[in-house]
Structure 1
Amino acid sequence: MEAMVNNICDIVLKRLYMPRVGILWTSGNHDFLRWAPSGELTWVHYLSGDFTKSSNHANNPCYIVESLTDPYREAKTLSALIIPNISLDFVSKLCLGLPFTAAGSLVFGCLDEQLPVIVDDTCITRWLRTIDPKRIDEITSRLCNLGFIVISKIGSTSSSCVLELDEKGWISWCEIADRLSGIGVVILKNGSRLTDEAEDRLRSLGIKIER
C-alpha cells in the first residue's frame, strides 16, 4: 500500500510541475483528437462552443473556451499559448485589439503576462495569397507588433525564410521575436551570439540556427 501511495504522489507531483501549454482552436477544424500527447508538457485544449462539453484527451484537459469564468486568470496558469490554423475572423478581432470574447481575453491575458503566443497563419495565408497577397504582410506585421510570434507552413522554401543576424554581441529573444514570420533558418554572422533563451525558443519553433 505504501508503495502505491508513493507512486501516486510521484505522478501527482510530476503533473503539478509540468509546464501547461494552451492550444486555442479557432478554425473549426479541431485536430486535437489527433494531437500526440507529450510526457514533458501538459497540453490544455481550448475549444469553441461547437463542442457541447469539456473533456479530457490522453490525460490532457479540454475546455470550452466560452465557459472560462476568468480568462485572464486562466492565462496566468499557462507557460505559452499556441493558436493552430488561426481563422480569418479571429485574426480580424486580434488585429483590432478587441478581446471582447473569452478567447480574445485569454490571448491578451497571455500577452499581458509576456508569455509566448504562437500563431500559425497557414489557413489565412493559403486563402489570401491568391486574392490579396499584400494583405498577408500587413496582417503579419500587425500581429508581430502586438507581440505575437507568427509562423506558417507555406513558403518555407522561399528566400524569405532566412534571417541573417550580424549584430555583434549577444542577441536576446525579445530582439528577434517579432522578426520570425516565415523564418526557417537563423544565420549568425560577424560574431553574433544568441542567449540561451533565444536558442531554446528558436529550436522549440523548429527554426534552425547556423553559424
Structure 2
Amino acid sequence: MIDGCIKLSDGRTLGFAEFGQMDGHPIFVFHGTPGLRFHLFSHLATKITQGNIRVIAPERPGYGLSDPKPDRTILDWAGDVQQLANHLRIERFSLVGISGGDPHAIACTYAMPHRVIKAAVICGIGPLNVPGALDTVSEEIQMCVGGGELLAAFTNQLVGMVRSDPDAFVTYFLGCLPESDRNMITKDMIPIFRDFAIEAARRTDGIIDDCQILTKP
C-alpha cells in the first residue's frame, strides 16, 4: 500500500491510498459509510497485486487524511476525483462504489462520461428519502439517517465505544449484521475490522456529512 495526499484547488487536503500494479488498469474505489482509504484492501492485497490493476482509494472529505468540506454535495465529489486523477496523470479509469460510496461513483460517472470507462456498484443503496425506504432497516441505520442531534449523539457514542474497547465494538458491530452476512465473516477478518474501526473513529466529520447528504433527494 502507498499512502498519499494532494492539495485541492480550494486548499483542502485529499488523502488516498494505492494498491496493485502502478502500470495496471486504474480503478478508483470509493469506500462505504464509514470508510477509509485502506478499508478492507489489506485483506485482499495479495490478490490485487497479482492482477493487472491499479487500485486508487481516496477518502471523502472528513475521513482519515481528507479535510472536511462544509455543505458538500454528492456531485462535489466528482470535482475532487477529477483533480486526483489529473494529479496522478490518469486520463481514463474505472470506478467502484461500496455502499455509501455508490452514489458518489454514480455522480462521477454522470459528471465525467468522457473519462469513466465503466462503474460497478457493490452493496448498492437506493434513495433514502422516498416513502418506505427505511421501513425494514435496523434501528442503528434509522438513527444514522435521522440527522441533527440524534445522528451526532449516536456517532459520538459509537466512537466512544471504539476508543474505550475496540474488541467490544467489533462484537457489537457484527451482532448488528444479518445472519447471512455474519456467516461470511471469517476469523482472519476480525483484526481487520478492529483496525478499521480504530482508524475510522479518529474523526466524525465524514460520517455525519455522509449520513446527511445520502438522505437528501
TM-score (normalised: structure 2): 0.32
Q: Using CA pairs below 8 Å that are at least 6 residues apart, which structure has the higher relative contact order?
A: 2
TM-score (normalised: structure 1): 0.33
Greater radius of gyration (CA):
1
